[in-house]
Amino acid sequence: MKTHRHPKRYRQSDRHHRAISSLSKRLVRVMTYSVLTLLIISILLVIALRFLPAPTSAFMMHTHIDDLVEGKAFQPIKQDWVDSRGISKYAYSAVIASEDQRFYQHHGFDIDAIYKAYQQYQHGGKLRGASTISQQVAKNLFLSPARNFGRKALEIWFTFLIESLWTKARILEMYLNIAEFGDHLFGIEAASQHYFGISAKRLSASQAALLAATLPNPIRLKAAHPSAYLLQRQRWILRQMHNLAN
């Protein structure tokens, strides 16, 4: 026996499907516009910071958040922005020797370093980072310390923008102004004044190498009281600076 759909029930079902379809389309439009808006804002922000000093960074703000969560008394960030003319040439060569020796050869991502780190890990070695200076600027300036896929995607995006819209000189200048050099101590100028009582422009090769040697973990590796390991790392950086110069 042939059955027939109830007209009223059919119309209700049809309206229900149309409503769901319409809602889905609206959600897709909202998400698309939101993503495009965020992309445009990020591009404009990176363009602005090509020319303007960074008043703060995500890393600095997170330092204050950590203090608040841990119930610590407020402690101001020590940081003094200096442009490239106020930074010793040794500071530039020291961080390149320490952190990213292929800085001028890559476009934000050192594929060779990533591959070598992976190979070392595959052969039972410790998994080590292969972040370039450009990636570190992207992370420190714009992102939280969280480790997840979304953050990594944003790191790749901001690194791409930085490498596309800034000069290499600007990337180094920004890096040296926002890098952490101690507890609530950021930037090469504040670090130079704190540890040596001089401006960043007057740093010697040895002093610059010591500061660069702390960069993997400036809270544990203290430039004020250098351990045997830190001094060994300083000597290694000085040798690398000499090799790169030649």
Residues 170 and 238 in one domain: yes
pLDDT at 40 over 90: yes
Lowest mean pLDDT among 20-29, 151-160, 229-238: 20-29
Task: Report the phi/psi class of residue 36: left, alpha or beta, with left for phi > 0 and alpha for psi in -120 to 50.
Answer: alpha
Instruction: Confirm if 106 and 170 have CB atoms less than 8 A apart.
Output: no
Is residue 75 located within the same domain as residue 15?
Answer: no
CATH number at residue 226: 1.10.3810.10
The closest of 199, 189, 203, 193 to 234, measured between CA atoms, is 203
Statement: residue 42 has pLDDT above 90: yes
Q: Do residues 35 and 146 share a domain?
A: no
Averaged pLDDT, 127-155? 88
83 & 95 share domain: yes
Task: Please report whether residue 177 resides in a domain.
Answer: yes
Domain boundary among 17, 37, 52: 52
pLDDT of residue 23: 77
Q: Is residue 2 part of a domain?
A: no
Tell me the per-residue pLDDT of 74-99, one tens digit each, with 9 for 90 and over.
999 999 999 999 999 999 999 999 99
pLDDT, average across residues 158-176:
98
**Maximum separation of any 2 CA atoms in the chain, in Å:** 98
Tell whether 48 and 126 lie within a shared domain.
no
Q: Where are the alpha helices (DSSP H) in 52-204?
A: 58-69, 89-99, 111-122, 133-142, 149-165, 168-178, 188-196
* CA distance to 13, 23, 159, per residue, from 19 (Å): 10, 6, 41
Domain membership flag for residue 114: yes
In a domain, 72, yes or no: yes
- Considering the domain boundaries, does residue 1 fall inside one? no
Specify whether 47 is located in the same domain as 154: no
Are residues 172 and 133 in contact, defined by beta-carbon separation less than 8 angstroms? yes
Looking at residues 53-65, what average pLDDT do you find? 95
Average per-residue pLDDT for the chain: 90
Residue 117: pLDDT band with limits 50, 70, 90? low
Provide the pLDDT confidence category of residue 124 given band limits of 50, 70 and 90.
low
Q: Are residues 73 and 114 in the same domain?
A: yes
Q: Is residue 3 part of a domain?
A: no
Domains: count for the chain: 2
Does residue 166 sit in the same domain as residue 203?
yes
User: Are 239 and 228 spatial neighbours (Cβ–Cβ below 8 Å)?
Assistant: no
Q: What is the DSSP letter of 106?
A: S
- The values of phi and psi at residue 78, to 5°, are -95, 115
Residue 143 pLDDT > 70:
yes
Same domain, 235 and 128: yes
Cα–Cα separations (whole angstroms), residue 218 to 19, 180, 181, 210: 57, 7, 5, 11
Answer yes or no: is 31 within a domain: yes
Residue 123 structural domain: 53-245
Residues 136 and 157 in one domain: yes
Helix (H, G, I), strand (E, B) or coil at 233: helix
Pair 99, 42 in one domain: no
**CA nearest 173: which of 202, 206, 200?**
200
Same domain assignment for residues 42 and 142: no
pLDDT at position 44: 97
Per-residue pLDDT at 144: 84
Location of structure tokens 């952490």: 180
